[in-house]
Structure formats: C-alpha cells, structure tokens
Amino acid sequence: MKIPINLKAGSVDKEEKKEVIIGIDLGTTNSLVAYADGEETIVIRDELGSNALVPSILHFGSEGVIVGDDAREKLISAPQRTIYSVKRLMGKSYADLESLKASVGYNVIDQDTEALVKVEIDGKYYTPVELSAEILKELKVRVEKHLKTTVSKAVITVPAYFNDAQRQATRDAGKLAGLEVLRIVNEPTAASLAYGIGLSKDEEQTIVVYDLGGGTFDISILQIQNGIFEVLATHGDTHLGGDDFDQLIIDYWLSQSGVTTQDLKTNKSLGQEYRTQAEQAKKAISTIGSYDTTIDDKELSIDADTFARLASDLIDKTLNACKLAMNDAKLTNDDIDQVVLVGGSTRMPIVKTAVSGYFGKSANDSLDPDEVVAIGAAIQADILAGNRKDLLLIDITPLSMGIETVGGLMDVIISRNSKVPTRAGRQYTTSVDGQKNLKIAVYQGERDLIEHNRKLGEFILTDIPPMPAGIPKIEIKFILDADGILTVKATELRSNVETQMEIRSAYGISEEDMARMLIDSLQNAESDMKAKALLESINEANNIIMATDRFIAQNKDALTVEQITKINALKEKLQKSTSGDNKDVIEAAMQAMNIYTEPLAHEALDRNIGKALKETKL
Ligand code: AMP
C-alpha cells in the first residue's frame, strides 16, 4: 500500500505527486547523499561541486555540533569531543565493544555490559542513534540546499551483516533527523542497483560485491532473481581498510627515517603529518606510481613496487575472506556473473588486479567506488517513489507492529514497509523473580511510546515455571501473511509453554488515520526519542538496583561495613535520580555506581573461582 501524505497540510494527497526520496550511504568513515528523478541520479557535492564525501565525524564545540570536514579538523586538538566511527557503535552493547573502547579518543560508557553503549561528552550522554542522527541531519541540509525544498523521506543503506538491532538503530537515527526511513537497504544490494543489476524482472544473476573502504572490508555474494536480492554469504573484517594501507607506508617511512612510533605518539601533530602524507602517497601510487615528500627535514619516498610488496599480506587477507564467502555460498567462480568494486580503497590498482585475478573475470569499477552505494540507495528510493513504473512493486506493511515493553515503550518487531508476507521474532525475559504470567500487548504505529500507538490486542502467556528474573527465555514471534493477518506466538523456550493469537492488523484503520499516525511520528520524533531515552535509562537503573541488591545479599560476608554503606548510598542516589526527568543525572549515578562496584565484582568473581577450585575433588 502506498499513501502519499502531505506533511505540511497533514493530509492525504489524493493525487500522486512526484516527490524526492533521498538515498543515503551512512558510512563508517564517510557518508553521502544522492537522489534520482526517474532518469538521472545526482550525487550531492560540496559548494565547490567536487567532493561528495561527508566525513562521518562530529565535533561538540561551544557553538553546538559540527559534522564533516570541519569536525575532522578537531580530531587532534579535541579528541574527547570529536566522535568518529559511530557506525561501529550502532545497536551494540558494551560487551560487544571491549576492543574499540581502548582505541578511540572519546569516552564510551560502561554501565551494564548488556545495555546499549553511550558516549559521554562533557557530562552529557549520547546514544549512537543520536550521534548518527546528527550526520543524517547534515546530509539532509545539504540535499535541501541543493533542491531548495524540504525532504522528509529516505532510503538508508547498512552492511548486509547488520542485525535487527543495528537496522532498527539506523531507522531510529533517520527518524530523529526528521526523515521517514522508507527502507533500509543492504549496501551490496544498493551497489548492484547502481550498476543496473536486478532492475529487470526476469533477470537472474549471481554477483560478488567487494567493498574495501577506509576502515572496513566486506565481501558479499548476492543472488538476484525476479527483482529479489538474496544475500547468499557475507564475510569481511570490520577493522581492515584504507587506514591499514596508510599504516604500512608510515611504518616503511619510520624504518627509513629512524623516527619511532613512540615519537609519533608523543608529537601528535607529527603523527598526523605522517598519516596525511602516507594517505597522499597511497593515492599518488594509484595514479602516477610513486611519491616523494619531506617531513620534518627527512626526505621520504615510496614507489608502486615497494607498496605492492608491503600490501600483499593485507590483500591476501581480503582474498581469503572471498574464499570463505564462496565456500559458505557453495559456489565456484563459474557461478559468478559479475564482480563489482565498492569503496575508495578499490582505487588501488593492486586491489583491482588481485580481485579480478582471484575470480577470473575483470572486476567492474566503471562507477566511482565511493558513490556506488549512495547511487544505488537513490535508485531504490526512486523505485519506492513510483518513478520507475516498470518495476515490480512488492506489497509492504504500512505501519510498524510491535509489543509493549517495560515502562510503556513500543518495541517494533515488524517494521513499517517490510515486505509481506514476513515473519520476525525477538527474545525477552521476565523482570520479577518467580514471574508466572506475562502479558503481551500488541501495537501498531510509529511512535516510541505505546500510549500514542494503536492497540491491536493482548494476551497472556501463562504457566511459566518459577525462575529468577532474567532466566526465562520468552520468544515472541510475529507472522504476517499476505493478507495482513498477524499471528503472534509467545513461547517460553526453557519449558516450551506456548500461547498464540491472531490479529487482523490492517483492518479498521483508514488511510487518513494511517497518514495521521505517520505525520505524528515525524512531528514528535524528537520529544518521543527523549521520552524513550529517559524510560530506557530508568529501566537500566532499576536493573542495576536489582543487581546491586543481589550482589550485596550474595557477598555480604566478604564485603566490609564501609563498602556496604557506600554501595547503599550510591544505590539511594541512583534510586532518587529515577524519579526525576533528567536522563544525564541517572546516567551519571549509574556510572558512579559502576565505577565503585566493578572492582568489588571482580574480587567476588575471583573468590568464587578460588572456592570452586578448592571444592573440586580429584
Ligand atoms: P570510503 O570509506 O569508501 O570512503 O574509502 C575511503 C578510503 O579510500 C580511504 O582510506 C582513502 O585513503 C581510500 N582512497 C581514496 N582514493 C584512493 C586512491 N586513489 N587510491 C587509494 N586509496 C584511495
């Protein structure tokens, strides 16, 4: 179902108008925006009309947030207030990110290893969704300046391996930036669309998308049939990209000049100079074959042969990932119709040669590798805008469907614009010890709080065997058939207790109501997101309070009176903070609790291991 809505008037447009839907490549290093108008695809460039890449970097300064090249300038001078690689944080819990935390200059917060990460800047706490939204806002401003009109709808790309939480986080970021995200598209799918692969209905192809960017490497194998893109396999390395090739040149120069890594660490601007020059050298080798420079009175040079020798291990690493992906997809080179190159680093001739050699066919690089994904996103957007009528249009769900979770939050299980039929599920648990029943309330709508959405029905999962809070594994499955009939199933997986209900989701709601709900969700995105963030912090705080009580009860013999008093004082402060409406106060109280209790928890763990070892009898 496609409903044209007029955002200004808040009404449904009866006549379908041509509208611009933008395509966004939200990248780890750089982001881009493009749009298409049925025939032509235009990539938005800077004021000089040359550079389309907006560095995915944010700087929080005295005048607010800046994004892009200006923010990049601040990486050295203000590392704690300059955020990069936000994409790596999307939908991630702290436990997922142990290694990243050590390598970035800003402060990634550890409150609860299971909770989603946050970044702290000057006592304020930001979610990756909020940070990504700033990048998207910048792209939105750029395209609006170019088109001289407001833009409210977008297609955003994500890596094929992004999970549900990461996709949802990307969607939320779009919403917060004032964009209705019509579709989240896999990056390799966008790349194939850019090359015109999969645009005709009866086409059948199997393609390899080799994507080597600034900091990440992905290889995807796609099968395209009847306009449907199926990801057969993905592989890659989330920490391998152009930066590593730059590092090879830096190391080579250090060995030439006698300067040490330590020197670069101590003298940050010298380090930056080496990095900048190394990247220039790499690019020069791609075009003219060699590079000479002087840094700090030291003459340095590198040629293509030396670089090829240095880079061979990294390239072999990417080819090995290709091999693993081909094995997973159970394909041989003969099955592959095309190989497509994506990402700035595929401009290195040694990469193209190696990839073409590996697959036994010339890799396609006729489009700008930095722009391919954004171009594909714009083409997908154009299809959704109805500007390419010859294309197969698959039926989609008009509104998101989900359930109520703690605090009255809407947890989306099937998102708006999903293809029908579809199924999706998620696991939950209980929040109270010995909980026997769980109410499952199903809602439809785009708002973050269920009170603003439309209730479709509710039922109770009964007879859950008594277990401590957090132990039951309750799987909620949504199955939506082609007629819009939703079946919701709840199963406690440890005991196999199951209940289900059927809901006729698409009925009883007029197009006007539907449009109203969409408009409301966009107009209230910011306040909704704030309310949601506050509720999430309160939920997290309550979990920490429960865990603290359990910790004291289990370790009261080993803890000193002072320690217990201090923990209780921190707990009281945390408890008090949850009755206010300042998320940052709650976050700070959680952090204070965590800083104090973490070493105590480690000691307790060591004690328990020691005890277990003593009790082990041979
Ligand atoms: P992306 O994340 O796709 O924008 O890729 C950016 C990466 O591509 C950076 O590491 C750049 O140094 C690299 N890159 C851009 N142009 C060239 C070039 N001509 N030769 C080699 N690497 C390049």
3-state secondary structure 338-380: EEEEECHHHHCHHHHHHHHHHHCCCCECCCCCCCHHHHHHHHH
Ligand 1 atom having least distance to the Cα of 241 = 10
388 CA from centroid of ligand 1 (Å): 32
pLDDT for residue 506:
44
pLDDT for residue 146:
94
Alpha carbon distance 250, 275 (integer Å): 7
Q: Helix, strand or coil for residue 302?
A: strand
Ligand 1 atom having least distance to the Cα of 27 = 2
Q: Which two tokens stand for residue 157?
A: 């790309």
Low-confidence residues in the chain, pLDDT < 50: 1-8, 14-15, 392-393, 505-508, 617-618
Alpha carbon distance 390, 377 (integer Å): 18
279 CA from centroid of ligand 1 (Å): 8
Task: Look at domain 527-615 and name its CATH class.
Answer: mainly alpha
Smallest CA separation from ligand 1 atom 18, residue: 283
Alpha carbon distance 317, 339 (integer Å): 18
Alpha carbon distance 403, 460 (integer Å): 12
To the nearest 10°, report the CA torsion of 197, 201, 203, 209: 30
Tens digit of each residue's pLDDT (9 = 90 or more) over 536-581: 899 889 989 988 998 999 888 889 999 999 999 999 999 999 999 9
Ligand 1 neighbour 146 (Cβ under 6 A): no
Ligand 1 neighbour 344 (Cβ under 6 A): yes
Q: Where in the chain is the domain with CATH 1.20.1270.10?
A: 527-615
- The strand ranges marked E within 254-289 are none
Q: Could you tell me if 486 and 502 are in contact, meaning their C-beta atoms sit under 8 angstroms apart?
A: yes
Ligand 1 neighbour 29 (Cβ under 6 A): yes
Helices marked H in 369-507: 372-384
197 CA from centroid of ligand 1 (Å): 24
Alpha carbon distance 600, 160 (integer Å): 41
User: SS3 breakdown of the chain: % helix, strand, coil, rounded to 5?
Assistant: 40, 25, 30
CATH superfamily to which 401-517 belongs: Substrate Binding Domain Of DNAk; Chain A, domain 1 (2.60.34.10)
Q: Could you tell me if 263 and 270 are in contact, meaning their C-beta atoms sit under 8 angstroms apart?
A: yes
Ligand 1 neighbour 236 (Cβ under 6 A): no
Smallest CA separation from ligand 1 atom 7, residue: 214
Q: Does domain 242-308 match CATH 3.90.640.10? A: yes
Smallest CA separation from ligand 1 atom 16, residue: 344
pLDDT for residue 11:
54
Q: Where in the chain is the domain with CATH 3.30.420.40?
A: 5-195+370-384
Ligand 1 neighbour 370 (Cβ under 6 A): yes
Q: pTM, whole model, 2 decimals?
A: 0.74
Alpha carbon distance 179, 523 (integer Å): 10
pLDDT for residue 1:
43
Q: Where in the chain is the domain with CATH 3.90.640.10?
A: 242-308
Comparing CA positions, the residue from 443, 403, 396 lying closest to residue 418 is 396
Comparing CA positions, the residue from 364, 429, 418 lying closest to residue 395 is 418
| Peptide bond preceding 465 in cis form (omega within 30 of 0) | no
Q: Could you tell me if 258 and 299 are in contact, meaning their C-beta atoms sit under 8 angstroms apart?
A: no
Ligand 1 neighbour 242 (Cβ under 6 A): yes
Q: Which two tokens stand for residue 454?
A: 């439309």
Q: Does domain 5-195+370-384 match CATH 3.30.420.40? A: yes
Ligand 1 neighbour 286 (Cβ under 6 A): yes
Ligand 1 atom having least distance to the Cα of 216 = 2
Alpha carbon distance 352, 323 (integer Å): 16
pLDDT for residue 389:
61
Comparing CA positions, the residue from 455, 444, 458 lying closest to residue 500 is 458
Which positions are catalytic?
Answer: 25, 87, 187, 211
